[in-house]
Copies of this chain bind each other. A is one copy, B any other.
Amino acid sequence: MANSNSTINDVARIANVSKKTVSRVINKSPLLSEKTREHVEKVIKEIGYVPNPQARALALRRNFIIAAIHDNPNAQFLVNVQQGILEGISGSEFALMVEPVDRNSPTIVNDVRQFLERQRPYGVVLLPPVSENDELADLCDSLGIRYVRMVSGELDKPENIVMSNDREAVYGAVRYLIEQGHQKIAFIEGPDSLSPAERRAGYDQAMAEAGLLVHDWMIAKGNYTFETGVEAGLALIDGAVRPTAIFASNDEMAIGAIIAARKRGIRIPDGLSIIGFDDTPLSSHIWPSLTTVRWPIVEMAKAAALKLIEDEETDPMLGVGLGSVLIERGSVRPLD
Q: Are A119 and B143 in contact, with the CB atoms below 8 A? A: no
Q: Which of A4, A67, A75, A262 has the most CB of B within 10 A?
A: A75
Report A144-172 residues with CB < 8 Å from chain B CB: 144
Q: Is A76 an interface residue (CB 8 A)?
A: yes
Q: Is A211 an interface residue (CB 8 A)?
A: no
Q: Are A98 and B100 in contact, with the CB atoms below 8 A? A: no
Interface of A is mostly: helix
The answer, among B50, B98, B259, for a CB contact under 8 Å with A82, is: B98
In the bound complex, CA of A52 to CA of B62 (Å): 11
Q: Are B54 and A58 in contact, with the CB atoms below 8 A? A: yes
Q: Is A3 an interface residue (CB 8 A)?
A: yes
Residues in chain B near residue A120, CB distance under 8 A: 52-54
Classify chain A's interface size.
35 or more
Q: Are B100 and A119 in contact, with the CB atoms below 8 A? A: no
Q: Is A281 an interface residue (CB 8 A)?
A: yes
A266 to chain B, nearest CB (A): 12
Q: Is A25 an interface residue (CB 8 A)?
A: no
Stretch from A31-39, A212-220, A282-290 contacting the other chain: A282-290
Report A106-161 residues with CB < 8 Å from chain B CB: 115, 117-120, 142-144
CB-CB contacts of A63-92 with B at 8 A, as 1s and 0s? 111010000000110111011001000000
Q: Are A118 and B55 in contact, with the CB atoms below 8 A? A: no
Residues in chain B near residue A210, CB distance under 8 A: none
A59 to chain B, nearest CB (A): 9
In the bound complex, CA of A262 to CA of B130 (Å): 40
A93 nearest in chain B by CB position = B118
A250 to chain B, nearest CB (A): 13
Q: Are B118 and A100 in contact, with the CB atoms below 8 A? A: no
Residues in chain B near residue A240, CB distance under 8 A: none
Q: Are B53 and A119 in contact, with the CB atoms below 8 A? A: yes
A292 to chain B, nearest CB (A): 15
Report A271-320 residues with CB < 8 Å from chain B CB: 281-282, 284-287
Q: Are A252 and B50 in contact, with the CB atoms below 8 A? A: no
Q: Is A57 an interface residue (CB 8 A)?
A: yes
A88 to chain B, nearest CB (A): 13
Residues in chain B near residue A65, CB distance under 8 A: 97, 119
Q: Is A46 an interface residue (CB 8 A)?
A: no
Residues in chain B near residue A86, CB distance under 8 A: 98, 100
A256 nearest in chain B by CB position = B285
A65 to chain B, nearest CB (A): 7
Q: Are B97 and A285 in contact, with the CB atoms below 8 A? A: no
The answer, among B79, B93, B282, for a CB contact under 8 Å with A78, is: B79
Q: Are B282 and A285 in contact, with the CB atoms below 8 A? A: yes
Residues in chain B near residue A95, CB distance under 8 A: 67, 97, 99, 115, 118-119
Chain A interface residues (CB < 8 Å from chain B): 3-5, 50, 52-55, 57-58, 61, 63-65, 67, 75-76, 78-80, 82-83, 86, 93, 95-100, 115, 117-120, 142-144, 226, 252, 255-256, 258-259, 262, 281-282, 284-287
